[in-house]
Amino acid sequence: MKRGSRMVFTILMVPTVGALLLGCPKKITKTEATPQPKVSESVGVTRPKAGPTTDDSSATKQQAGKQTDEQRTAQLLASRGEDIPIKESPTIEFVDPSSEDKAVLKPIYFEYNKSNIRPEYQPVLENISKWLVKKVGSQLLIEGHCDERGTDEYNLALGERRALAVRRYLIALGVSSDRVHTISYGEEKPAVSGSDEAAWSKNRRAEFKVSAQ
């Protein structure tokens, strides 16, 4: 083409091509591909006071070495407030504790919407860890519960966090991670009926069941 006609062509084509390229606005927002790094200090986690490590007397002699390593790792994670993975689900049956055991296995209560272990319940958990040393072969099921307020789906996850907080605390005290298990019932199994703080405070809890003997 001659220069003049080339200029005309360009003048006409450039805005057209530009309009095409800028044409359709993208609705999908791009997000970063890399996951956030784990944070070692989690919200609302109380670290247990440094206590004596307890031997896991439920381990057989052959497996003693392996379990001690895993147990040490779990304890380290627990004391740093980090998540401790759940490796296996329990296949055993759990029952209500006997009245004698109930004196030790008392419920732990929580503040509204919180899952941190309150200072007044730390002695209870310390007693429970000592009880587990004595009761060779026993396992614990920690049930996490919420009061009726809030939405049921969030409460199921919050109940799970409460049970996991108790589990983490016990592991940091030296309890083997394969002796403590968790389950959440959210707001589905209140201990006390009622729609006031007296009832609600009794429902925001972690309760214990023991392995059937």
Q: Which amino acid is at 83?
A: D
Cβ nearer to another protein, comparing 30 with 134: 30
Kindly write out the interface string for residues 12-51 of this chain, putting x where it contacts another protein by CB under 8 A and - elsewhere: xx--x--xx--x---xxxxxxxxxxxxx-xxx-x------
Smallest gap from Cβ 103 to another protein, in A, equals: 26
Alpha-carbon span 172 to 161, nearest angstrom: 16
Expressed in percent and rounded to 5, the helix, strand and coil fractions of the chain are 40, 10, 50
- Show contacts of 40-47: CB within 8 Å, 24+ apart: 40/80, 40/81, 40/82, 41/81, 42/81, 42/82, 42/83, 44/114, 44/115, 44/116, 44/165, 45/81, 45/116, 45/165, 45/168, 46/116, 46/117, 46/118, 46/119, 46/122, 46/169, 47/79, 47/81, 47/172
Kindly write out the interface string for residues 68-107 of this chain, putting x where it contacts another protein by CB under 8 A and - elsewhere: ---------x---xxxxxxxxx------------------
Cβ nearer to another protein, comparing 57 with 195: 195
Binding residues among 155-194 for another protein as defined by CB under 8 A: 156-158, 160-161, 164, 168, 182-186, 188, 193
Residue of 60, 62, 99, 151 interacting with another protein (CB under 8 A): 151
Cβ nearer to another protein, comparing 13 with 103: 13
Kindly write out the interface string for residues 49-68 of this chain, putting x where it contacts another protein by CB under 8 A and - elsewhere: --------------------
Q: Torsions phi, psi of 82, nearest 5?
A: -85, 160
Residue of 150, 178, 202, 211 interacting with another protein (CB under 8 A): 150
Cβ nearer to another protein, comparing 131 with 208: 208
